[in-house]
């Protein structure tokens, strides 16, 4: 039995408020515990988006009632809320800036809209950028100009990881995360649609593989693996949408990931592609430092390193009802999660009540 510290996922979409048919704080934090996570940081692209005091309170109220593991809630950077967002920095998980195409309404296209956020958001609180390719380069330049740390979400491309490496070597305060799906899937896994589409049939397969950032080439995937030392965190970007939505004419981007991240990564440990100290650094120590998260006393995860089994959506706690890794054979299973002295999960069962989870920014 392997004992790990409580894992931290700094990037999840729990869909509350506004889309609780996909997920809510109850099912999302249950999925987190089943996956070995004891802290999750929730993104602000909800309905309504979280961008001021009242919407932040709305999300935190839901979390307080329903969360089973500890949590934080991001505030979103909008065109006119830099001052308000900065004033809420102490209560939010961090500021999320959507600088590229995404799901939802929060998006800052024009760089003049970035400036007030870089100026005002307090430097000691985390700023996370959804930025891809050249937009990412611009975001790193802003971080250098304003001399404040920036965390780059879901790095997926070779050109991105190489630029981050170079920026770190120059002393720029940039950190980054990579999602398991960008380490285990590539463009080659996207099935081509039947043509013409059968009458009355929605799309199949290729809609399920929609995600932002998109699945990249094998060369990009290899570059991420080769630059493992540049990656600060693994983050799932858990983005549940129902199967009906994914198979529809207009499939929303996103994969669930909370319950598959650790088994997938542990499998690569068993293949000597990753080490346990690496895994602990990227799923506990580094995110705790980067996001200034509190210690969780008497908290740990027990893993059966030798358990071999198939991933099955039917055994998951996420409400979305599917996984892009259906049927994958993995090695390493979460047996038990103890959170602040209480057994929260054991042998496939959630044992902790809704509302046990605490806000990591409560003080």
HSE of 95, CA atoms in CB hemisphere, 13 A? 32
Helix (H) / strand (E) containing 150? strand 150-152
CA distance 97 to 81: 12
Instruction: Candidates 168-176, 228-236, 252-260, 343-351: pick the segment binding ligand DOR (CB under 6 A).
Output: 252-260
Question: Closest approach of Cβ 32 to Zn ion, in Å?
Answer: 15
Q: Does 131 help bind ligand DOR (rule: CB under 6 A)? A: no
Partner interacting with residue 254 (select from ligand DOR, Zn ion, none; CB below 5-8 Å by kind)? ligand DOR
Partner interacting with residue 103 (select from Zn ion, ligand DOR, none; CB below 5-8 Å by kind)? ligand DOR
Question: Closest approach of Cβ 214 to ligand DOR, in Å?
Answer: 9
Question: Closest approach of Cβ 254 to ligand DOR, in Å?
Answer: 3
Which residue do the tokens 């999300």 mark? 59
Q: Does 136 help bind ligand DOR (rule: CB under 6 A)? A: no
Closer Cβ to Zn ion, 126 or 332, answer by number: 126
Q: Does 23 help bind Zn ion (rule: CB under 5 A)? A: no
Tell me the CA distances in angstroms from 341 to 113, 337, 363, one per residue in order: 45, 10, 20
Q: Does 212 help bind ligand DOR (rule: CB under 6 A)? A: yes
For residue 130, report the phi and psi dihedrals to the nearest 5 degrees.
-85, 105
Which residue do the tokens 């979280």 mark? 50
Q: Does 238 help bind ligand DOR (rule: CB under 6 A)? A: no
Tell me the CA distances in angstroms from 105 to 79, 220, 259, one per residue in order: 11, 29, 27
Q: Which of 237, 245, 259, 302 binds Zn ion (CB under 5 A)?
A: 237
- Quote the radius of gyration of the chain (alpha carbons, Å): 19
For residue 91, report the phi and psi dihedrals to the nearest 5 degrees.
-100, -15
Q: Which of 11, 13, 66, 96 binds ligand DOR (CB under 6 A)?
A: 13
Q: Which of 55, 102, 186, 318 binds ligand DOR (CB under 6 A)?
A: 102
Q: Does 236 help bind ligand DOR (rule: CB under 6 A)? A: no
User: Contact 16/46 with Cβ under 8 angstroms?
Assistant: yes
Q: Does 253 help bind ligand DOR (rule: CB under 6 A)? A: yes
Q: Does 99 help bind ligand DOR (rule: CB under 6 A)? A: no
Q: Which of 72, 180, 254, 257 binds ligand DOR (CB under 6 A)?
A: 254
User: Contact 223/163 with Cβ under 8 angstroms?
Assistant: no
Question: Closest approach of Cβ 279 to ligand DOR, in Å?
Answer: 24
Q: Tell me if the bond preceding 45 is cis, omega within 30° of 0.
A: no
| Residues in 163-202 at the binding interface with ligand DOR, rule: CB under 6 A | none
Pair of tokens at residue 141:
């330049």
Q: Does 239 help bind ligand DOR (rule: CB under 6 A)? A: yes
Q: Tell me if the bond preceding 48 is cis, omega within 30° of 0.
A: yes
Residues that bind ligand DOR (CB under 6 A): 13, 45, 102-103, 130, 211-212, 239, 252-254
């Amino acid at each position: 039995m392997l004992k790990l510290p409580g894992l931290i996922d700094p990037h999840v979409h729990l869909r509350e408020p506004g889309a609780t048919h996909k997920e809510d704080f109850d099912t999302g934090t249950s999925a987190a515990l089943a996956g070995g996570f004891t802290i999750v940081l929730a993104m602000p692209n909800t309905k309504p988006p979280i961008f001021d005091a009242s919407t932040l309170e709305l999300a935190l109220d839901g979390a307080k009632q329903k969360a089973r593991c500890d949590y934080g809630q991001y505030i979103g950077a909008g065109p006119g809320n830099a001052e308000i967002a900065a004033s809420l920095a102490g209560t939010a998980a961090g500021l999320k800036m959507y600088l590229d195409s995404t799901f939802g309404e929060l998006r800052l296209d024009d760089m003049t809209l970035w400036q007030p956020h870089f100026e005002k958001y307090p430097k000691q609180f985390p700023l996370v950028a959804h930025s891809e390719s050249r937009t990412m380069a611009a975001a790193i330049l802003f971080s250098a100009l304003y001399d404040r740390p920036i965390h780059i979400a879901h790095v997926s491309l070779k050109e991105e990881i190489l630029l981050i490496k170079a920026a770190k070597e120059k002393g720029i305060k940039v950190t980054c995360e990579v999602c398991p799906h960008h380490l285990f899937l590539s463009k080659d896994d996207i099935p081509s649609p039947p043509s013409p589409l059968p009458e009355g049939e929605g799309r199949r397969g290729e809609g399920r593989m929609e995600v932002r950032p998109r699945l990249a080439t094998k060369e990009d995937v290899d570059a991420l693996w080769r630059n493992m030392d540049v990656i600060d965190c693994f983050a799932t970007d858990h983005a549940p949408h129902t199967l009906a939505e994914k198979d529809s004419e207009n499939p929303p981007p996103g994969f669930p990931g909370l319950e598959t991240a650790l088994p997938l990564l542990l499998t690569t440990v068993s293949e000597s592609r990753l080490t346990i100290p690496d895994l602990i650094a990227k799923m506990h120590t580094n995110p705790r430092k980067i996001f200034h998260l509190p210690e969780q006393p008497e908290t740990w995860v027990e893993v059966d390193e030798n358990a071999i089994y198939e991933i099955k959506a039917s055994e998951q706690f996420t409400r979305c009802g599917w996984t892009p890794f259906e049927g994958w054979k993995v090695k390493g299973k979460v047996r038990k999660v103890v959170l602040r002295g209480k057994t929260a999960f054991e042998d496939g069962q959630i044992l902790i009540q809704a509302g046990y989870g605490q806000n990591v920014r409560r003080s």
